[in-house]
Amino acid sequence: MNDLLSKIIDRNKCLTSKGKVASYIPALKRADPKQLGVCVADIEGNIFAAGDYGQKFTLQSISKTISLMLAIMDNGSDKVFSKVGMEPTGDAFNSIIKLETISPSKPLNPMINAGAIAVASLIKGKDPEEKFNRLLVLLRKICQNDKLSINKEVYLSEKETGNRNRALAYFMKDVGIINGDVEDVLDVYFKQCSIEVDCIDIAKIGLFLAKNGVVLETSERIVEEKVAKTIKSFMVTCGMYNASGEFAINVGIPAKSGVGGGIMAAVPLRMGIGVFSPALDDKGNSIAGYGLLEDLSKELDLSFF
Amino acid sequence: MNDLLSKIIDRNKCLTSKGKVASYIPALKRADPKQLGVCVADIEGNIFAAGDYGQKFTLQSISKTISLMLAIMDNGSDKVFSKVGMEPTGDAFNSIIKLETISPSKPLNPMINAGAIAVASLIKGKDPEEKFNRLLVLLRKICQNDKLSINKEVYLSEKETGNRNRALAYFMKDVGIINGDVEDVLDVYFKQCSIEVDCIDIAKIGLFLAKNGVVLETSERIVEEKVAKTIKSFMVTCGMYNASGEFAINVGIPAKSGVGGGIMAAVPLRMGIGVFSPALDDKGNSIAGYGLLEDLSKELDLSFF
Amino acid sequence: MNDLLSKIIDRNKCLTSKGKVASYIPALKRADPKQLGVCVADIEGNIFAAGDYGQKFTLQSISKTISLMLAIMDNGSDKVFSKVGMEPTGDAFNSIIKLETISPSKPLNPMINAGAIAVASLIKGKDPEEKFNRLLVLLRKICQNDKLSINKEVYLSEKETGNRNRALAYFMKDVGIINGDVEDVLDVYFKQCSIEVDCIDIAKIGLFLAKNGVVLETSERIVEEKVAKTIKSFMVTCGMYNASGEFAINVGIPAKSGVGGGIMAAVPLRMGIGVFSPALDDKGNSIAGYGLLEDLSKELDLSFF
Amino acid sequence: MNDLLSKIIDRNKCLTSKGKVASYIPALKRADPKQLGVCVADIEGNIFAAGDYGQKFTLQSISKTISLMLAIMDNGSDKVFSKVGMEPTGDAFNSIIKLETISPSKPLNPMINAGAIAVASLIKGKDPEEKFNRLLVLLRKICQNDKLSINKEVYLSEKETGNRNRALAYFMKDVGIINGDVEDVLDVYFKQCSIEVDCIDIAKIGLFLAKNGVVLETSERIVEEKVAKTIKSFMVTCGMYNASGEFAINVGIPAKSGVGGGIMAAVPLRMGIGVFSPALDDKGNSIAGYGLLEDLSKELDLSFF
């Protein structure tokens, strides 16, 4: 397996030159576009890894899966999905249009920014710190990694430049999707996006979902099977931004990407996969990470059909 | 299994009173809203059925899966997906907006009307008759039913009232997505929607997709595995109109519904399912058919995750 | 005055090289982009002209003012404005979006294509020929020119290539804005766009509107004052495509342009102006014609404020 | 004239029962819907008034004309119109859609909220207080009323509830239309909306515009004629929200309304008119104020055509 991973890394490394690292904040812009790493954590407890799998990067949109889980644990599915829809969208991840044109106003799904911000507002806690800490504690348990914490520079930059997200949040506040202080809600959201991980960590998230809500190492059930399946459904229909449909066809694995260059994938009942390569394609997905997963899916026949 | 199907039919029959039959043409309006039928065709060759499984109805949007297969067989994936996208959409199935706002103009996917019309324009043949006949021959082979043919009354009504589809088609003609005569293209499309089937027929389509492109009875491979998986991917991301995301979460089976009241579902490597009940919910899906599939998925653990 | 017109023509001639003639049909594409002509027909009966004022061109969108007048004469304002709105729009002249997103569906105003097609459908007559002839007779009376007729090549090209307009028309047929045969409605519309005129003719239309509905030469009142003012209001708020607001600020004269290169302007109680120059700016207005009217407005203090 | 005004007030008073006072903040909700007042300030220096002309109300959107004037005085037209467009729109006054779909992103005109907020950001001054004070000083000079000041309750409510405006502002900050601190910009905007006036005050604004930028009492020219005409053009094309086109047809006077119930109108070279009646129609315009102006326009032949 380690050989296969190395081979696939070699094969996809060339793709890194065709993408571009995210440039909206300095910390992301500094990433080395040539890096590519992968980790496979399978259901027997094996960990395979190759390339730059130890490189740290920020979760960004991958965190939307965790916050959704926590919000459902805190509020139940019905409450959460009264505030955010379940449907994929052909609009951009940061689009505000559907909020205005759909009646009643509601973000289409929890994987676009508007939806994820609405979800963050539902996490319980007496203040933004407590809310974020509960999310961090949950993530540490899933990843079995107590050292996980935020990259402060990224967090501060996100907070400073996140005006499109502010626009989405104030719009939702206006139409009653979000209650409470907007900056407090955004603070949780910016922090969750700024959690620093490596390929092993996100492979563990994938493994946890592959096992439908149970942590392999501890056998602890953290969320109901139904919730884990819900998260995987969203990964299929809207996990790869506006390439989700194409990715389902070409790769066929539930996956969630982030602009930090990570892709977290869950092969039901088989394995979790973590990929990192910061050069992005024009849809915002790691370009070499996408290619690597496509090859891996073919080699190991991972497609869900 | 027959007992299970009967039981689930009984349990979901009450839902029929909460939906409404399609009313835009007289032939659909006349359907009996209380009917509910199901057929399971499994990979061992067993056929189980219950309720009104022998009732005839028209394929409508379910035909989009067949025309897409044929168009890919005729042109290859690259050509087809240069004219139509792969992404789900939160817009209505007959919306024209994205055609105007996305650049270059291209229907988002082959399951919305615009995309399906573009797909129909790619089927090879010297005239609309030949094009449609090729599709009918393909379908008869898949269903192993030589008697399949169109319901002429439905076809003529679709043709007469199909002005929204004409608008979509002329728009696509204008921007170069469609070549050739618009009425000829629409003729193929209206005919494919008007093919009359029963639950057994569509269960056979599902079975054929479950077997990744092979007809069980004849062991004939009709399309490549890759194509069959592509069709199933579209069924997952956009097969149930604007309830596709929700259906993936609640049921977790690739499925395609039609306003005639049918739902065709394919459980990979296990079975095809055909459901019929003409009363529709507000998204345009058979309301009791949805409920029946949800129950069946739980009882038999059919969810793909 | 003739000197002033010549001077202003000289001053604006250079602008012609910055625009582009319409190229969607061959007959328009052949126009000489360097031409520029103007005619002023004042309320005392004087006719002043300079440059290529005798050059023939087709009315195109300028005809929307005439068809609106006739539709109101035939049906009354209430009926007409139950089918088409009164509001300007920031969308493109051939956009279909508002038809889909506004409820109830209704073209925003009679100067965009959708609105003008809806208006054409309201003109009385037993068939398209009679409807168009009634419009032509009306126009001949207004222009005092019995020789006005259509340019057959332009008409046939418009009919052949007018698929975007067909899309608009079928959409409106679908939602009930248009009754009757769509191709019949479009036939009237394509013909009205193809009427061949020169600067003197359209200056006479402007004069007729400046005199609030009375033909100067015959003193015949053809429409009520209220209708003439309505037409001028639409010229102000939406006569110059998506440069209407800017034109009101910079020029301040009710005006309607066409992609044939003509601009028809009406200075209330003072004069009509006809301008022709086929090179268009990126909004679809004659680029030198716009400049000429801006200069003329300043020189003669024609702004309505 | 006073008799005429009284007569027209009596005739339109009944309309007040068909509208509704703005209810998004308590101070507006408390307004007496039955009130109706009018003031005419003509170019000879006469002041005529009738009904509740002395009732105080807040300027709201009428202030957009003043801030636009000041921004142009401070920056020149070119700078201002590089940040905000000149075109009317069929979208709602608080819509965010066009900001997202038009490229480059720019509010369509200065009369919609997004445009007015962008304009407010261009007013010079070292802090929000100084910026607002400069606007207040300008307005006092135009109205010849040193007592004008803000209604603090309204201002605080606007500030508290103005989340839709915050969404617009943060969106514009994100795309570079607005520089500087968003809350500072909004502070100026909320204050300008909260200036308290009566019918005489806004009639004076109208008179000042009718005289193309000169204060009648002092003969002081405050803005260039071109700027005053620009303001009046915007009042014609987009002064009455989404009834601007209809108002131009039915009334034919440049006018700007506010949700406080005021309408400020300017009859070029003749008079300014101030109307107040807080019950609004479904477009957001004073329903009796609209009727009153329609009658007045007919009686005195004030239409600009």
pLDDT in the model for residue A304: 84
Name chain C contacts of B25, Cβ cutoff 8 Å: none
Please state, in angstroms and rounded to a whole number, the distance separating the CA atoms of residues B80 and B102.
18
Report domain extents, chain B. Answer: 2-60+197-298, 62-193
Candidate from B100, B166, B169 with C-beta closest to C97: B100
Q: Which amino acid type is present at position B295?
A: D
Please state, in angstroms and rounded to a whole number, the distance separating the CA atoms of residues A185 and D289.
43
Q: Do B97 and C95 touch (CB under 8 A)?
A: no
Second-level CATH architecture of C2-60+196-299: 3-Layer(aba) Sandwich (3.40)
CA angle B106, B109, B110 (to 5 degrees): 105
CB burial of B43-72 (b: ≥16 within 10 Å; e: otherwise) equals eeeebbbbbbbebebbbbbbbbbbbbbbbb
CA distances from D97 to B59, C5, C90, D282 (A): 37, 43, 11, 20
pLDDT in the model for residue A249: 97
pLDDT > 90? residue D187: yes
Question: Which residues, 6 or more positions from B204, have their beta carbon under 8 angstroms from its beta carbon?
Answer: B41, B142, B143, B144, B145, B272, B274
Q: Identify from B72, B244, B249 which residue to disrupt to test chain A contact, counting A C-beta atoms within 10 A and taking the largest count.
A: B249
Residue A99 pLDDT class (50, 70, 90 cuts):
confident
Q: What is the mean pLDDT of each run of 10 residues along chain B (305 residues)?
A: 95 96 93 97 98 98 98 98 94 86 88 97 98 98 98 97 97 96 98 98 98 97 97 97 96 97 97 98 97 98 90
- Across chain A, what does the average pLDDT equal? 96
Q: Do C304 and D303 touch (CB under 8 A)?
A: no
C81: tokens are: 């404005």
| DSSP assignment of D189-210 | HHHHHTEEE-HHHHHHHHHHHH
pLDDT > 90? residue D102: no
When pLDDT is averaged across residues C124-144 and rounded to a whole number, the result is 98
Please state, in angstroms and rounded to a whole number, the distance separating the CA atoms of residues C259 and C263.
9
For residue A98, the chain B residue with the least C-alpha distance is: B90
Q: Domain spanning B62-193 has what CATH number?
A: 1.10.1500.10
Burial of D105 (0-12, 13-18, 19+ CB in 10 A): middle
Tell me which fold the domain A61-193 belongs to.
Probable Glutaminase Ybgj; Chain: A, domain 2 (1.10.1500)
Which listed residue (C21, C61, C191, C232) is catalytic?
C61
pLDDT in the model for residue C99: 87
Q: What is the dihedral of CA B42, B45, B50, B52, to 10 degrees?
A: 100
Candidate from C95, C101, C174 with C-beta closest to B167: C174
Dmax over CA atoms of chain A, in Å, equals 54
pLDDT > 80? residue D103: no
Other CB atoms within 10 A of residue B149 CB: 12
Q: Do A96 and D173 touch (CB under 8 A)?
A: no
Contact call for residues D86 and C246 (beta carbons, < 8 A): yes
Q: Is A189 a catalytic residue?
A: yes
Q: What 3-state DSSP class applies to A209?
A: helix
pLDDT in the model for residue D45: 97
Q: Distance, in angstroms, between D213 CA and closest chain C CA?
A: 12
CA-atom Rg of chain A in angstroms: 18
Model's pTM, two decimal places?
A: 0.95
Which listed residue (A64, A83, A191, A232) is catalytic?
A64
CA distances from A115 to A67, B2, B280 (A): 11, 42, 28
Candidate from C97, C101, C167 with C-beta closest to B167: C167
Does residue A73 belong to the interface with chain B, where contact is any CB pair within 8 Å?
no
Was domain A2-58+197-299 assigned CATH 1.10.10.350? Answer: no
Q: Is the peptide bond before D104 cis (omega within 30 degrees of 0)?
A: yes
Q: What is the pLDDT of residues D116-167, one digit of tens each?
A: 999 999 999 999 999 999 999 999 999 999 999 999 999 999 999 999 999 9
Q: Is D259 a catalytic residue?
A: yes
For residue A242, the chain B residue with the least C-alpha distance is: B87
Only one residue has tokens 């199909």, namely: B162
pLDDT in the model for residue D189: 98
Backbone angles phi, psi at D223, to 5 degrees: -130, 155
% of chain D beyond a pLDDT of 70? 100
Contact call for residues B286 and B276 (beta carbons, < 8 A): yes
Q: Domain spanning B2-60+197-298 has what CATH number?
A: 3.40.710.10
pLDDT in the model for residue D179: 94
Question: Which residues, 6 or more positions from A170, have their beta carbon under 8 angstroms from its beta carbon?
Answer: A182, D163, D164, D166, D167, D170
CA distances from D276 to C27, D280, D292 (A): 55, 11, 10
Which listed residue (D84, D188, D259, D267) is catalytic?
D259
Q: Do B89 and A85 touch (CB under 8 A)?
A: no
pLDDT > 80? residue D196: yes
Name chain C contacts of B97, Cβ cutoff 8 Å: 96-97, 100-101
Per 3-state DSSP, what percentage of chain D is helix, strand, and coil (rounded to 5)? 50, 10, 35
For residue A98, the chain D residue with the least C-alpha distance is: D97
Q: Is D24 a catalytic residue?
A: no
Q: Is C53 a catalytic residue?
A: no
pLDDT in the model for residue B101: 81
H or E element, residue A272: strand A271-276
H or E element, residue B20: none
Q: Do B170 and C182 touch (CB under 8 A)?
A: no
Q: What 3-state DSSP class applies to A124?
A: coil
pLDDT in the model for residue A244: 96
Please state, in angstroms and rounded to a whole number, the distance separating the CA atoms of residues A5 and A299.
10
Candidate from B97, B101, B170 with C-beta closest to C167: B170
More confidently predicted of A104 and D83: D83
Does residue B60 belong to the interface with chain A, where contact is any CB pair within 8 Å?
no
Name chain D contacts of A169, Cβ cutoff 8 Å: 167
pLDDT in the model for residue A102: 81
Contact call for residues B20 and B278 (beta carbons, < 8 A): no
Which listed residue (A189, A204, A227, A257) is catalytic?
A189
Question: Which residues, 6 or more positions from B30, have their beta carbon under 8 angstroms from its beta carbon?
Answer: none
Q: Domain spanning D2-60+197-300 has what CATH number?
A: 3.40.710.10
Does residue D61 belong to the interface with chain A, where contact is any CB pair within 8 Å?
no
Q: Which amino acid type is present at position B134?
A: R
Matching CATH number, C63-193, of 1.10.645.10, 1.10.1500.10, 2.60.40.420, 1.10.10.10: 1.10.1500.10
Does residue D257 belong to the interface with chain C, where contact is any CB pair within 8 Å?
no
DSSP state of D223: S
Please state, in angstroms and rounded to a whole number, the distance separating the CA atoms of residues C34 and C16.
6
When pLDDT is averaged across residues C269-292 and rounded to a whole number, the result is 97
Candidate from D98, D234, D244 with C-beta closest to C87: D244
